[in-house]
Amino acid sequence: MARAWHLKSRPSGMPTLDNFELKDVELPPLGEGCLRVRNRWLSVDPYMRGRMNDVKSYVPPFQVGEPMDGGAIGEVIESRAEGFAPGDLVQHMAGWRDEAVVAARTAQKLPGLGAPPEQFLGVLGVTGITAYFGLLDAATAKAGDVVFVSAAAGAVGSVVVQVAKAKGMTVVGSVGGPDKCGFVRSLGADHVIDYKTGPILKSLAAAAPDGIDVYFDNVGGDHLDAALALARNNARFAICGMIEGYNTGQPTSLRFIMRVIAARIRLKGFIVFDYFPRLPEFYAEMGPWVADGTVKSRETVVDGLDNTADAFLGLFEGANTGKMLVRL
Amino acid sequence: MARAWHLKSRPSGMPTLDNFELKDVELPPLGEGCLRVRNRWLSVDPYMRGRMNDVKSYVPPFQVGEPMDGGAIGEVIESRAEGFAPGDLVQHMAGWRDEAVVAARTAQKLPGLGAPPEQFLGVLGVTGITAYFGLLDAATAKAGDVVFVSAAAGAVGSVVVQVAKAKGMTVVGSVGGPDKCGFVRSLGADHVIDYKTGPILKSLAAAAPDGIDVYFDNVGGDHLDAALALARNNARFAICGMIEGYNTGQPTSLRFIMRVIAARIRLKGFIVFDYFPRLPEFYAEMGPWVADGTVKSRETVVDGLDNTADAFLGLFEGANTGKMLVRL
């Protein structure tokens, strides 16, 4: 017997606890090539909001009445797969639950980088991969660029700030609230904007009077519009997320979209999965940065499987600084 | 004495004839290195609407009370510049008038491609260069792509349709009205949408049931939103113009902007001037296409300097099929 979070109903607008249900599930017998895993850490991420809608996208939607899934780190407690033994720590996609039977081919043993296991859901995992390739590949950011990052205290944003600084860029981060301002400043950002204190366009114009070369978008909406307004010639935008729009269903109203022409702006959407073939490149650069403290990991940890849905909902209220994780 | 159109006042919203004034101007004496030119053809273009506002952009704004300018083809009637002689046909930027004194370094003798001179304001000029590099460079369109073009009966759009067909692409064009439908079909487009007959999203979904790989945007607004909605993975958008927004000043409302992420869409704004260093490449491919009829030139011709402002205003009412020109 395991316990797993199920999608009880689809939200319209902001999800609530009523959309989720924690229920017992029977685990299948351990087939050949499979692992029984006890989860230690669960990942909750903004992109999961999209999976709560019945819409085909780059990941399939959650199904009503069925268990949910997502990134997790677990310990192998029984193995019928070559190369895996009890005690191994693995990363896999059977999150939102305490125990799972998974096919070994869908699980990866954690690389021996000497980092704490939970970092493979954060700075050394999908979060870090998103930040690294979004900034350096999708936005082709380079030394000397002025980089604007929204949700700069968030899981992805906080890594973007640090990678940009490590690569010799000037960084303007936007966050909500004074605590997050301090945090992002401590990561080395050159300017930090609290978007709650005034119109983002005005704040960004003050922080980057000569404009921006790169925008790493986690937010959409007014942040995207301000970035369009202040983009320098040949600016590049990496569009990673638009959390502002995930729950509202409202159209995005852009006053400055026409500037893409005069300023020759490039916007590029990207999905982290597309970069998985380039993981060795990522580990080679990020591994040492994390080990020597150039890139610091920051997590907001919620304890207990029972609180997983709460942790997820907190993402939309700015409850997290850095990566939001659930520890079992 | 020459006659030149002046900007009389700046419009708010849609410009009217009252914003323009045709007045006599004294021409300066013909200095060393200069040409006296009698204009034969004037170009009026949507981008000039932006120059009527007092806004810094990639070309300086027109000044109230001052003569306007723009692309033109003229005949040299007096030369104090080496390499130019009376009778030479030149392309230059002293349009919106009948006669001008221009610095020879700002004028180009028409390349000897055997084409009628007015085509160097259209399919072999800025219009054609915009279409060619916008499609092939900004959008990196290639054989096999499904290409959606808005304002497909317009100056740029009608060339995009033909270049795309010449390169082995499938083309969906959008136009306003049945006459333009017929025209764009005659250019070889696989599907033509009359956007006046219903919501563009529905029409585009019917014309391109499997989605689009490339969008060449001359229009913005709902056309851009429909293209976002129906973009396939790794779609590329060339953002050339957004005529819908030039006069309204309204923000653009996009319901499907979030699809840039899931579909990894790339949007790229571009300015034709940036491609001038690559003109030899353009002439080498487009010259033969125009000569052998692969790419046909189509102009809407208005006669007489007096009618230049009318011709310009007609651009915003869909009065032109192909390139709008004024013949003197």
Q: What's the confidence (pLDDT) of residue A113?
A: 78
Task: Name the phi and psi angles at B207, rounded to 5.
Answer: -75, -30
| Residue pointed to by tokens 């260093």 | B277
CA end-to-end span of chain B: 16
Q: Is A232 on the interface with B (CB under 8 A)?
A: no
Which residues of chain B neighbour A239 with C-beta distances below 8 Å? 260-261
Q: Indicate yes or no: CB of B260 within 8 angstroms of CB of A269.
A: yes
ipTM: 0.90
pLDDT in tens, chain B (328 residues): 899 999 999 999 999 999 999 999 999 999 999 999 999 999 999 999 999 999 877 888 999 999 999 999 999 999 999 999 999 999 999 999 999 999 999 999 998 778 899 999 999 999 999 999 999 999 999 999 999 999 999 999 999 999 999 999 999 999 999 999 999 999 999 999 999 999 999 999 999 999 999 999 999 999 999 999 999 999 999 999 988 777 777 899 999 999 999 999 999 999 999 999 999 999 999 999 999 999 999 999 999 999 999 999 999 998 999 999 999 9
Q: Indicate yes or no: CB of B266 within 8 angstroms of CB of A269.
A: yes
Q: Which helix (H) or strand (E) holds B243?
A: helix B243-246
SS3 state at B72: strand
What architecture (CATH level 2) is domain A2-118+298-327?
Answer: Alpha-Beta Complex (3.90)
| Residue pointed to by tokens 């895996």 | A84
How deeply is B66 buried, as exposed, middle or buried, from its count of CB atoms within 10 A (0-12, 13-18, 19+)?
A: exposed
**Residue A121: closest CA among A76, A159, A166:** A159
> What is the β-pairing status of strands B170-175 and B146-149?
parallel
Q: Indicate yes or no: CB of A261 within 8 angstroms of CB of B253.
A: no
For chain A, how many residues are written?
Answer: 328
Q: Indicate yes or no: CB of B267 within 8 angstroms of CB of A260.
A: yes
Q: Is A319 on the interface with B (CB under 8 A)?
A: no
SS3 state at A98: coil
CB A140 within 8 A of CB A165: no
Distance CA A247, CA A268 (A): 22
Among partner residues A224, A245, A251, which is closest to B253 by beta-carbon distance? A251
Q: Indicate yes or no: CB of B270 within 8 angstroms of CB of A251.
A: no
Put the strands of the sheet holding B231-239 in their side by side order. A191-194, A170-175, A146-149, A212-217, A231-239, A266-269, B266-269, B231-239, B212-217, B146-149, B170-175, B191-194
Each as own residue / partner, the long-range contacts of residues A285-294 (CB below 8 Å, 24 or more positions apart, any chain) are A285/A132, A286/A123, A286/A124, A286/A128, A286/A132, A286/A163, A287/A111, A287/A113, A287/A115, A287/A124, A289/A162, A289/A163, A289/A166, A290/A113, A290/A115, A290/A119, A290/A123, A290/A124, A291/A113, A291/A114, A291/A115, A294/A162, A294/A166
Distance CA A303, CA A301 (A): 6
Q: Indicate yes or no: CB of B257 within 8 angstroms of CB of A252.
A: yes
Q: What's the confidence (pLDDT) of residue B57?
A: 78
Distance CA A106, CA A119 (A): 19
Which residues of chain A neighbour B221 with C-beta distances below 8 Å? none
Each as own residue / partner, the long-range contacts of residues A306-311 (CB below 8 Å, 24 or more positions apart, any chain) are A306/A22, A308/A5, A308/A22, A308/A42, A308/A44, A308/A96, A309/A5, A309/A17, A309/A19, A309/A20, A309/A22, A310/A17, A311/A44
Q: What's the confidence (pLDDT) of residue A206?
A: 98
Q: Which two tokens stand for residue B188?
A: 């070889």
Q: Which two tokens stand for residue A185?
A: 């400043």
CA end-to-end span of chain A: 16
**Looking at A178-242, which runs of residues are DSSP E strands?**
191-194, 212-217, 231-239
Q: What's the confidence (pLDDT) of residue B164?
A: 98
Measure CA A166 to chain center. Answer: 20
Q: Indicate yes or no: CB of B58 within 8 angstroms of CB of A271.
A: no
CB B161 within 8 A of CB B141: no
Distance CA A314, CA A318 (A): 6
Q: Where are the domains of chain A?
A: 2-118+298-327, 126-273
Q: Indicate yes or no: CB of A262 within 8 angstroms of CB of B220.
A: no
Q: Which helix (H) or strand (E) holds A303?
A: strand A299-303
CB A74 within 8 A of CB A106: no
**CB neighbour burial string for A240-275, b if at least 16 within 10 angstroms, e if fewer:** bbbbbbbeeeeebebbbbbbbbbbbbbbbbbbbeeb
Among partner residues A257, A264, A267, which is closest to B274 by beta-carbon distance? A264
Which residues of chain B neighbour A255 with C-beta distances below 8 Å? 251-252
Structure letter (DSSP) for residue A245? H
CB B127 within 8 A of CB B295: no
pLDDT in tens, chain A (328 residues): 899 999 999 999 999 999 999 999 999 999 999 999 999 999 999 999 999 999 877 888 999 999 999 999 999 999 999 999 999 999 999 999 999 999 999 999 998 778 899 999 999 999 999 999 999 999 999 999 999 999 999 999 999 999 999 999 999 999 999 999 999 999 999 999 999 999 999 999 999 999 999 999 999 999 999 999 999 999 999 999 988 777 777 899 999 999 999 999 999 999 999 999 999 999 999 999 999 999 999 999 999 999 999 999 999 998 999 999 999 9
Among partner residues A241, A258, A262, which is closest to B261 by beta-carbon distance? A241
Residue type, B14: M
Q: Indicate yes or no: CB of B266 within 8 angstroms of CB of A268.
A: yes
Q: Is A248 on the interface with B (CB under 8 A)?
A: no
Which residues of chain A neighbour B268 with C-beta distances below 8 Å? 260, 264-267
Q: Indicate yes or no: CB of B253 within 8 angstroms of CB of A257.
A: no
What architecture (CATH level 2) is domain B2-118+297-327?
Answer: Alpha-Beta Complex (3.90)
pTM for the whole thing?
0.91
Q: What's the confidence (pLDDT) of residue A112?
A: 78
Q: Which helix (H) or strand (E) holds B214?
A: strand B212-217
**DSSP string spanning B140-158?**
---TT-EEEESSTTBHHHH
Distance CA B202, CA B221 (A): 15
Which residues of chain A neighbour B242 with C-beta distances below 8 Å? 257-258, 261
Q: Is A220 on the interface with B (CB under 8 A)?
A: yes
Q: Does A126-273 match A2-118+298-327 at the fold level?
A: no
Distance CA A65, CA A4 (A): 11
Q: What CA dihedral angle connects B90, B93, B99 and B100, to 10 degrees?
A: -100
Q: Has domain B126-273 been given CATH number 3.40.50.2300?
A: no
Distance CA B200, CA B244 (A): 14
